[in-house]
Amino acid sequence: MPKLEIQSIDFSKNKENEEEVSESRKTVVMVKQFEGENITIHVFNIIATDIKEDIGKIIQSSEFEWEYHHDPSVNLTGIFCNNISKFYNIKSPLKSFSAKRKLNNLDFDHSPNILSRPEKVCILMESVSTEELDMVFSKCQDMQHLLTRAEIPDEYDNYGIWNAKEMWLRYAPPTIEGLLNMNYERLICRRSKLKTSDLNLFLKKWLQSTEKEDNKYKIHEIKLSRIENDSNIFEDLPVIPWNPRQRGQFFFHRNPFQNFGIDCSRDFDLLRDDGVLATVSYIRIPHLYDQFYFYVWRERFHVIPNDALFDPAIIF
């Protein structure tokens, strides 16, 4: 019997009915099949339809791709994934879950249990509501990687349920409460509404905080771009210059493409009362955008691999 793995579940749109919410619900399930060294990807398009004549249709669009048209009240995605998991004894977690259209309770009420523990979650809509964010983060509990394209609503405040080892957000949370209350190791945001006065307050609150015992992750890195400079970011902060006896010169940054040793010798440090040390770097780049970097030294002296590049900063 071949080995199977449910690779991804994708909440997408049925292009034939893109403007209609209920009828346009489509779930794309990708299943990877392993037979020796051969790998085959099977694609199952599970399409909800209110057209009675289409309900029950099964269309094979290519050798390894099918369409299943079903009554929206039937949990066909859940039935399909649960049955295939039981029959092939699939125990590995879901690799990826993505949302490319407006979400509703039916998507999650009708989702298989496997959806509760995806390794990677991608929120790819251009806009997202507070209700949709709460749905995603209350259902997907054990993600490693989070990717979002949508701007977070200004009124959103339930950041305490955000849990992911790495968060890659196109838009940073609009307030520092997001930076403080989300649970992550690495947070990288390409756009931000935050100002240097906001980040100054963030650093002061970080200094007054302590590690939460119930948090799964501890902050290692924060990187924000497009910061508005409205004041001195270091105002009234007990910053100290680099002390070679207190920490190393290079902070080790690991990403899927290249490892970096980031030179922090010219940046300022903050030492919290509980002994946690962090480095703050604020970079002004002519004709570009101001960058904010925050590195927490969980190990004071990083061992940098031989294949790492050495760079004063990572411009993202």
The pLDDT tens digits of the residues spanning 46-86 come to 998 888 899 999 999 899 999 999 888 887 887 888 788 87
pLDDT band of 176, cuts 50, 70, 90: very high
Is residue 254 assigned to a domain? no
- Domain count for the chain, please give it: 1
**Between the CA of residue 262 and those of 227, 240, 243, what are the distances in Å?**
21, 18, 16
Least confident stretch, 56-70, 133-147, 297-311: 297-311
Residue 114 lies in a domain: no
* pLDDT level of residue 313 (50, 70, 90 thresholds): low
> Cα–Cα distance between 287 and 230 in angstroms, integer?
17
Return the percentage of the chain with pLDDT > 70, whole number: 90
* CA angle 94–98–102, rounded 5-degree value: 140
* 2: CB partners within 8 A, 6+ apart: 33, 34, 35, 88
Q: Order across the sheet with 309-311: list the strands.
A: 250-253, 260-263, 309-311
Name the band, by pLDDT with cuts 50, 70 and 90, for residue 17.
Answer: very low
Average of per-residue pLDDT across 163-192: 95
Domain that holds residue 87: 1-14+24-95
Q: What is the pLDDT of residue 3?
A: 80
In a domain, 103, yes or no: no
Is residue 249 included in any domain, yes or no? no
Higher pLDDT, 151 or 23: 151
**Among 101-115, 127-141, 227-241, which range has the highest average pLDDT?**
227-241
Which of 170-184, 191-205, 207-221, 301-315 shows the lowest per-residue confidence on average (mean pLDDT)?
A: 301-315
Confidence of residue 315 (pLDDT cuts 50, 70, 90): very low
Summarize pLDDT for 249-259 with one digit per residue, the tens.
999 987 767 78
Mean pLDDT of 147-164: 94
Query: What pLDDT does residue 9 have?
Result: 87
